[in-house]
Amino acid sequence: MNGLRLNPQLLRVPLYIAGKSAEQVSQELGLGEVLKLCSNENPLGSSPMAIAALRDMLPKAHRYPGIAERELRSGLVTYYRNGLTEQHIIVGSGATDVLRIVAQAFIFDGGEAVMCRVTFPLFALLTTMYGGRAIRVDPRPDYRFDLPAMADAITAQTRIVWLCSPNNPTGMVLSQAEVDEFIESLPEHVVVVFDEAYCDYVTDPNCVDSLQYVRQGRNVVTVRSFSKSAGLANLRIGYGIAPPDLIEYLMHTVLPFSTGALAMVAARASLDDRTFRRRSRELVQQERAFLFARLSEMGLTCLPSQANFLLVVDPPLDVPALVDALLHQGVIVRPMAGFGLPNAFRVTVGLREQNERFLAALRTALAEASVTPA
């Protein structure tokens, strides 16, 4: 690249390292069936109604998207009801694309964004990508967001506060009471983004309802995904919900035909597949409790999660060594150094037989390292 003028801002952006694929691990280590529990995918697969709609749409793959976006927004209005309109919704190529849209819209001229130090790393990456400064606030000792400390970190230069509930990687949720107080304390020049990609798995009745702030017309964007309970991760389809004037402004960052009709048609159909979504939620809730109990019985510290994954902190074996030992047994989990927790790993909740295979591999890894589980 000799002679090219490079964007110095981009050189500051850390590369996002995704979890390894099962195919990659199988090829690298010469293993047979590899169990991928690192990317929080749906173990039941995809919504059958979404797959049927996708199949019906394939003959039109040569066409640019037509009315699919409007139909998806209309479907979301029906799904949520209670005062939302199509003008409250923006569609993107995955929830991450909607997060990018917000960052591009508000991070400029050296603006700041406040976030927890232990959260989805894309918040800091996007802030830096658009020339902003990421202000990281330490979590509380119990790994929950310290909202008063985050409020104290807000300055005249703050453009965005990034919140994640359930938080990735801890799985913990924000409560209605603490967020109500936080929202009331904010100056008018700040937009609050709620990343709620895992909201379908929440059972905690005290979890914040961020959509109430949208209905109140506050400077709030709620971002959700079809990747998890609908099982459409590979189609890259997500959406944001915000007051109409905010959505209208965000639309200035959206490129023409940036989200394909195949993805939007499948997503629209998945909204009607309540049976599959219910099965997905019930499986995660049941197996999450099973995994939490078994890991706790082994003497491991596992955070109480409301998502489709669990976070294990301070295991008795060094995390990189433990992750590698599991990898050589054909089980992929996610080390959390890139999420601000070098002493932790995250495991996706799978089917019962998958969870039992993971637990057996974990016991073997600890035993071979002469660490005896409780």
Whether 155 and 255 map to the same domain: the answer is: yes
Is residue 3, in this structure, part of any structural domain at all? no
| Structural domain count, the chain | 2
Q: Report the pLDDT value the prediction gives residue 2, as an integer from 0 to 100.
A: 76
Kindly report the average pLDDT of the chain as a whole number: 95
pLDDT tens per residue, range 83-124:
899 999 999 999 999 999 999 999 988 899 999 999 999 999
Whether 130 and 210 map to the same domain: the answer is: yes
Whether 283 and 243 map to the same domain: the answer is: no
Last residue of some domain: 252, 273, 294? 273
Whether 151 and 287 map to the same domain: the answer is: no
Higher pLDDT, 273 or 83: 273
**Whole-number percent of the chain with pLDDT over 90:** 86
Whether 39 and 171 map to the same domain: the answer is: no
Is residue 1, in this structure, part of any structural domain at all? no
Is residue 319, in this structure, part of any structural domain at all? yes
Is residue 2, in this structure, part of any structural domain at all? no
Domain that holds residue 299: 8-45+275-368
pTM score of the predicted model: 0.94
pLDDT at 374 over 60: no
Whether 85 and 223 map to the same domain: the answer is: yes
The 3-state secondary structure of 309-356 reads EEEEECCCCCHHHHHHHHHCCCEECEECHHHCCCCEEEEECCCHHHHH
pLDDT at 156 over 90: yes
Whether 297 and 264 map to the same domain: the answer is: no
CATH number at residue 191: 3.40.640.10
pLDDT at 351 over 70: yes
